[in-house]
Amino acid sequence: MLKATFLGTGTSQGVPLIGCKCLICQSANPKDKRLRSSIKIEVDGQTLVIDSGPDFRQQMLRSGTEQLDALIFTHEHKDHIAGMDDIRAFNYINKKAIDVYASLQVQRALKREYQYIFADIKYPGIPEINLKTISKNESFLVQDTLVTPIEVFHYMLPVLGFRINDFTYITDANFIAEEEKQKIRGSKVLVLNALRNEKHISHYTLSEAIALAQELEVPEVYFTHISHQLGLHEDVTKELPQGIYLAYDGLEVKLDRRTV
């Protein structure tokens, strides 16, 4: 059994935006309140989190997460790495360093943003991590769980999505090459970014995300990395094709482990 919990489903500024008085930002529906995008995967007796943005601490508290076995990064933008310092709570709880999986490009950003973690002389109480290198070219194991990276492009920036068993998670994309799409095909569940209705330089629009989901023929699809420009959760949901849904913070998705 794999369980995925959406820790956050919002874009880089979250929803509501600071100071915004639009209908979406003023909505009383909790499904219209979106922290920065992140997801928790519980599989094979372990807990993996993909991306630790600025809301990481709040997400861990809200979800009641008490175990963290691995942190996996999609890319180096601030809304995906800004909360990594708070993994030190799990160093204390779990009595171990946390395995952090990142591409070389992301590692450069982590070392720049968190110099104190990588310093030769360690200040007491800093996060303890085991930094592990990943790339689009090779699947990797998190203990006994196989994770397959999928390269997507966020305008010109390469970003990694991940397939775990029959669950695929992709955020911050507006182009996926055909050879990378092949890694997605056959998934039972796909999570994909759908920012808004209007064209965007580096994100799929709602219509583009729907078209891609239908092209890949994944039976169950959830959209994430949503901005306030997309519309009210309930209104957008009514217009979506069968098998396609808007994710929301706190949503849990379960699927049986793939049989080979």
The CATH number given to whatever domain includes residue 31 is 3.60.15.10
Rounded average pLDDT over 47-61? 98
Give me the pLDDT at residue 257, please. 59
pLDDT > 60? residue 216: yes
Rounded average pLDDT over 96-123? 96
What distance, in Å, lies between the first and last C-alpha atoms of the chain?
14
Give me the pLDDT at residue 256, please. 84
Give me the pLDDT at residue 58, please. 98
Residues 85-96 have pLDDT tens digits of 999 999 999 999
Alpha-carbon distance values, 117 to 15, 97, 206 (Å): 31, 12, 39
User: Taking the alpha carbons of 118, 133, 73, 136 in that order, is the dihedral positive or negative?
Assistant: positive
pLDDT > 90? residue 14: yes
Q: Residue by residue, what is the 3-state secondary structure of 177-236?
A: CHHHHHHHCCCCEEEEECCCCCCCCCCCCHHHHHHHHHHHCCCEEEEECECCCCCCHHHH
* Position 208 in a domain: yes
The answer to whether the predicted template modeling score (pTM) of the entire model surpasses 0.95 is yes
Give me the pLDDT at residue 122, please. 85
* Position 144 in a domain: yes
* Position 256 in a domain: no
Rounded average pLDDT over 35-53? 98
Q: What is the Cα–Cα distance from 248 to 226, expressed in whole angstroms?
A: 9
Residues 155-184 have pLDDT tens digits of 999 999 999 999 999 999 999 999 999 999
* Position 190 in a domain: yes
Structural domain for 171, as ranges: 2-248
- Which residues make Cβ contacts (< 8 Å) with residue 155, sequence separation at least 6? 174, 201, 202
Q: Report the b/e string of 36-67 with b at 16+ CB within 10 A.
A: bbbbbbbbbeebbbbbbbbbbeebbeebebee
pLDDT > 90? residue 215: yes
Provide the domain count of the chain: 1
* Position 255 in a domain: no
Q: How many residues in the chain?
A: 260
Report residue 260's pLDDT band, with 50, 70 and 90 as the boundaries.
Answer: very low
pLDDT > 60? residue 259: no
Rounded average pLDDT over 48-66? 98
* Position 258 in a domain: no
Provide DSSP, the chain.
-EEEEEEE-B-TT-BSPTT--STTTT---GGG-BPBPEEEEEETTEEEEE---TTHHHHHHHHT-----EEE-S---HHHHTTGGGGHHHHHHHTSPEEEEE-HHHHHHHHHHTHHHH-SSPPTT---EEEEE-BTTB-EEETTEEEEEEEEEETTEEEEEEEETTEEE--S-SB--HHHHHHHTT-SEEEEE---SS--SSS--HHHHHHHHHHHT-SEEEEESB-TTS--HHHHHHHSPTTEEE--TT-EEEEPPPP-
* Position 254 in a domain: no
* Position 260 in a domain: no
Hey, what are 119's tokens?
């310093």
